[in-house]
Amino acid sequence: MLLHLGEFDPDWYMARYPDVAELGLSAEAHFTTVGYRIGRGMSANCHSTSDRPEISAALSRRPEISYCVPVMDRLEDLKATLSKNLLSNKGFREQVEFVVLSYEDSGATFEWVRAHFGDALRSGYLRLIRMPRLPVWHFGRAKNGFRGRLAGRFYSSLDGDNFVTGEETRQLLSVIKARGETFIFHHFSGQWGDGSSGRISLPARYFDAVGYDETFLPRQFDEVDLILSTLAARPELTLCRYGAGDGVLEADSVRGYLKGVKDTPAVTTYPAPKRPAPVNPRAGDYAAEDAVLAAMQGVNEALSFLKNAPGSSRRAEWVGRLRRSAEAWVDATDARTLHAVLFDAVDLPPEDPLEITCLVPGAGANLSSVHPKIVIDARGEPLPAGATEEGDFVLHPASGHPLVADVLWRAGLAKVLAARGCPPVS
């Protein structure tokens, strides 16, 4: 908002108020949390904001709903949806904010939004955040970028090609009024491929506490896992959904999981509001017919069940499915994508390794005397001094789970190395 006002001078602010540096805050962070409340100025031309009520009003907004739109390479979709969504919900602008989180290096999305929605940005009805481009699109990582950044009481996910109508917002606000922070709402229509399966609303404090699981592969089951993980942490919450079609809890795999944990969450249904189709609708069976998506679904489902029911008698079954799905995903995925998803596409050493070693949590850091080698270290702590020698290279996985370190990380890296001509590695 400060950027779009065009009046805030961070250098002037730091020089004018030396206590900010003593607190270890940036000028922007201090002003937007403390400074505006006590009437501090923004620049040499604005020594006090006490007489600028519109600034205090925008920074003090505490809407009920934060519609969160993460995008990367989706400017055309945003051009088709953002204006309509803002207009459709204009009657609720005091109770709603739209937050666009753009993962980009070029700045094209950022500048387009600034150029076309100045009034909405200055009022706080629309907020725009720019983050560095992700090595590869990962739903969980992208959506977790909203954690700790929302003014609204409820997080509500919205893909870049989704429309949200005033009727939907009115319904959600009525549920909030009736139930407070005692529910999760899955806005799934029951029709796969229509863009609604990823639509979920829940109290922002639970979203901040639980969030999306970044050990997952980039897509599939991320929203369902957020539902199951939040219900596991807060079993008193009710799952609200539309009455049409089957909800996520009726899927065979999820029913099997719930039977295994002997838990049946309370469910309440609501009538589905009318809403436009997304910009990019898909066929209902698109995931099942794509080998890569089907494998990611298997990996992420198994990880979710294992995480949320660690003592289940079905653990061995889920671990087996996890391993089979991980192997299938590595087989079906090209080397470039494996490199980006598993290791953030970090540059690998030019010298071919003789060995790949995986270190997982709780397994120590005992390494062989073979050199050069690549060490995939998932322990989350520094290696002991002298554990590696010159020519060795240490990688830290960006996604995936230690339970499948061998068939996911090691096999995935071996495929990446083979694509550049490296001989088979032990």
Q: Domain check: are 115 and 141 in the same one?
A: yes
In 79-182, where do the E strands start and end?
Answer: 96-103, 126-131, 154-157
Q: For position 283, what pLDDT does the model report?
A: 67
Q: Domain check: are 235 and 184 in the same one?
A: yes
Residue 320 domain flag: no
Residue 304 domain flag: no
Q: Domain check: are 24 and 43 in the same one?
A: yes
Q: Domain check: are 51 and 69 in the same one?
A: no
Q: Residue 101: give the domain boundaries.
A: 65-270
Q: Domain check: are 71 and 113 in the same one?
A: yes
Q: Domain check: are 135 and 200 in the same one?
A: yes
- CA-to-CA distance for 172 and 197, rounded, in angstroms? 16
Q: For position 36, what pLDDT does the model report?
A: 81
Q: For position 381, what pLDDT does the model report?
A: 86
Residue 312 domain flag: no
Q: What is the pLDDT along the chain (426 residues), one digit of tens a residue?
A: 666 666 788 899 999 999 998 888 888 889 888 888 888 888 888 888 777 777 777 777 889 999 999 999 999 999 999 999 999 999 999 999 999 999 998 889 999 999 999 889 988 899 998 899 999 999 999 999 999 989 999 999 999 999 999 999 999 999 999 999 999 999 988 777 777 888 999 999 999 999 999 999 999 999 999 999 999 999 999 999 998 666 777 777 888 788 777 677 888 999 988 888 888 877 666 767 789 999 999 999 999 999 998 888 888 999 999 999 999 999 999 999 999 999 998 998 888 888 899 988 887 778 888 888 899 999 888 888 888 888 889 999 999 999 999 999 999 999 999 998 888 887
The encoded tokens of residue 330 equal: 């590595």
Q: Which of 220, 247, 270 corresponds to the end of one domain?
A: 270
Q: Domain check: are 117 and 196 in the same one?
A: yes
- CA-to-CA distance for 98 and 163, rounded, in angstroms? 12
Residue 314 domain flag: no
Residue 350: is the preceding peptide bond cis (ω within 30°)? no
Q: Domain check: are 22 and 151 in the same one?
A: no
Q: How far is CA 353 from CA 131, 238, 367, 369, 422, in A?
A: 34, 52, 14, 13, 8
- CA-to-CA distance for 170 and 62, rounded, in angstroms? 17
Q: How far is CA 233 from CA 11, 206, 211, 263, 308, in A?
A: 44, 9, 12, 13, 9
Q: For position 127, what pLDDT does the model report?
A: 92
Instruction: Compute the C-alpha angle 404/226/325, nearest 5°.
Output: 25
Number of domains within the chain: 3
Q: Which of 270, 289, 313 corresponds to the end of one domain?
A: 270
Which CATH number covers residue 212? 3.90.550.10
The encoded tokens of residue 417 equal: 């190395």
Q: Domain check: are 86 and 209 in the same one?
A: yes
Residue 426 domain flag: no
Q: Which of 270, 299, 321 corresponds to the end of one domain?
A: 270
Query: Would you give the DSSP letter of residue 310?
Result: T
Q: For position 240, what pLDDT does the model report?
A: 93
Q: Domain check: are 95 and 244 in the same one?
A: yes
- CA-to-CA distance for 315 and 101, rounded, in angstroms? 37
State which amino acid sits at residue 383. Answer: L
Q: For position 395, what pLDDT does the model report?
A: 92
Strand ranges across the sheet with 96-103: 126-131, 96-103, 65-71, 154-157, 200-203, 183-186, 238-242, 267-270
Residue 283 domain flag: no
Indicate the helix (H) or strand (E) that contains 30: helix 27-33
Q: Domain check: are 23 and 161 in the same one?
A: no
Q: For position 366, what pLDDT does the model report?
A: 80
Are 198 and 220 in contact by the 8 Å Cβ rule? The answer is no
Residue 329 domain flag: no
Q: Domain check: are 215 and 91 in the same one?
A: yes
The encoded tokens of residue 358 equal: 């995986």
